[in-house]
Structure 1
Amino acid sequence: MNKNDCIIALATPNGSGAIGVVRVSGSEAIELVNPVFFPKGKTSLLEQKSHSLQLGVIKDGERILDEVLVSVFRGNRSYTGEPVVEISCHGSAFILKEMIQLLIRKGGRAAEPGEFTLRAFVNGKMDLSQAEAVADLIASENAASHQLAMQQMRGGFANELSQLRKQLLNFASLIELELDFSEEDVEFANRDEFQALVMKIQKTLQRLIDSFSVGNVLKKGIPVAIVGEPNVGKSTLLNALLNEERAIVSDIAGTTRDTIEDEISIKGIGFRFIDTAGIRETEDTIEGLGIQRTFEKIEQSQVVVHLLNTTLLFEDGKLHEGHLTSIKKAVTDLNEKFPNRPYLLIANKADLLTPDQKVELAIHFEKLLFLSAKEKEGVAELQNKLLEFVDTGALQNQDAIVTNSRHYQALLGALEEINRVQEGLTAGLTSDLLAIDIRQCLYHIGEITGEVTNDEILGNIFANFCIGK
Structure 2
Amino acid sequence: MITDDTICAISTPAGAGAIAIVRMAGPQAFQITEKVFRPASANKKISTQPTHTLLFGTITDGQNDIDEVVISLFRAPRSFTGDDIVEISCHGSVYIQQKILNLLIDNGARMAKPGEFTQRAFLNGKMDLSQAEAVADLIAAQSESARRVALQQMKGGFSNELINLRNKLLEFTSLIELELDFSEEDVEFADRRQLIDLVDQIDTVLKNLINSFSLGNAIKNGIPVAIAGPANAGKSTLLNALLNEERAIVSDVPGTTRDAIEDVININGLTFRFIDTAGIRETHDKVENIGIKLTYNKISKASVILLMMDARDEDQNIHRTVMDVKKHMNADQQKLILIINKVDLVDSSTINQRFSEDAFRELTGTDAIVPLSAKHRTNLDNLIDHLLQTVDTNAIDNNQVVVTNARHYEALKKAREGILRTRDGLLNGISGDFIAQDIREVLHYLGEITGQITTDEVLGNIFKNFCIGK
Where in structure 1 are there 5+ consecutive unaligned residues?
A: 314-322
Match of 1:236 in 2: 237
String of CA shifts for 1:420-467, please: whole Å, max 9, x gaps. Answer: 111111122222222111111110111111111110111111111111
The separation in 2 between residues aligned to 1:327 and 1:439, in whole angstroms, is 55
| 2:116 aligned partner | 115
| Aligned equivalents of 1:339, 1:359: Cα separation in 2 | 30
Matched to 1:22, the amino acid is V
1:254 is paired with a residue whose SS is coil
Q: Matches of 1:397 and 1:33 in 2, distance apart?
A: 46
Superimposed CA distance per residue, residues 292-343 of structure 1 (whole angstroms, 9 cap, x where no aligned partner) = 11111111101110111224x3xxxxxxxxx443333122222233240311
Q: How does 1:7-22 map to 2 (within 5 A)?
A: 7-22=7-22
Mapped partners of 1:82, 1:291: distance in 2: 57
How far apart are 1:276 and its partner, in Å?
0.7
Structure 1 partner of 2:318: 327
Specify every segment of 5 or more residues in structure 2 that has no aligned partner in the other structure, as ranges.
362-367
1:343 maps to which of 318, 323, 336: 336
Note the aligned Cα RMSD (angstroms): 1.3
| Superposition map of 1:16-415 within 5 A | 16-41=16-41, 42-311=43-312, 313=313, 323-340=314-331, 341-362=334-355, 363=357, 365-366=360-361, 367-415=368-416
Alignment-mate amino acid for residue 355 of structure 1: S
Instruction: Output the amino acid matched with 1:337.
Output: H
Do the aligned partners of 1:37 and 1:45 also contact (CA within 8 Å) in 2? no
Match of 2:2 in 1: 2
CA contact (8 A) 2:300 2:330 kept: no
CA contact (8 A) 1:215 1:401 kept: yes
Letter in 2 for 1:94: Y
Once residues 346 and 58 of structure 2 are traced to their aligned partners in structure 1, the CA distance between those partners, rounded to angstroms, is 72
Letter in 1 for 2:430: L
Partner Cα distance (1:232, 1:379) in 2: 16
Cα contact 2:260–2:278 (8 A) shared by 1 = yes
> Could you list the per-position Cα deviations for residues 243-280 of structure 1 after superposition, in whole angstroms to 9, with x for gaps in the alignment?
11111112222111111101111111111000111111
C-alpha distance in 2, partners of 1:369/1:104? Answer: 62
Q: Determine the C-alpha separation between the residues in 2 that align with 1:328 and 1:202.
A: 42
1:231 maps to a residue whose letter is: N
What secondary structure is seen at the aligned counterpart in 1 of 2:73?
A: strand
Describe the shift of the 1:429–1:368 C-alpha distance in structure 2 as closer, same or farther (beyond 3 A).
closer
In the superposition, the TM-score normalised over structure 2's length comes to 0.95
Alpha-carbon contact 1:254-1:277 (below 8 Å) kept: yes
Provide the C-alpha distance between the structure 2 equivalents of 1:160 and 1:324, rounded to a whole number of angstroms: 51
| Conservation of the 8 A alpha-carbon contact between 2:22 and 2:89 | yes
Number of residue pairs aligned between Structure 1 and Structure 2: 459
Structure 1 outlier segments of 4+, above 6 Å:
none
3-state SS, counterpart of residue 327 of structure 2:
helix
In 2, distance between residues paired with 1:229 and 1:195?
A: 54
Q: Deviation per CA, 1:207-230, whole angstroms, max 9, x where unpaired?
A: 111111111112111100001112
- How far apart, in 1, do the equivalents of 2:394 and 2:177 lie? 42
TM normalised by structure 1 equals: 0.95
The farther-off stretch of 459-468 and 358-367 is 358-367
Distance (Å, rounded) in 1 between the aligned partners of 2:280 and 2:310: 13
**Aligned AA (1:29):** A
Distance in 1, Cα, partners of 2:180 & 2:319: 69
2:300–2:328 contact (8 Å) kept in structure 1:
no
- TM-superposed deviation, 1:357: 2.2
Give 1:355 shift.
2.1
Which whole-Å CA distance do the structure 1 matches of 2:22 and 2:343 have between them? 57
Question: Which deviations, in whole Å up to 9, do the C-alpha atoms of 1:69-123 show, x marking residues without a partner?
Answer: 0000001100001110000000011111111111111111111111000000011
Q: Aligned with 1:12: secondary structure?
A: coil
Secondary structure at 2:212's aligned position in 1?
helix
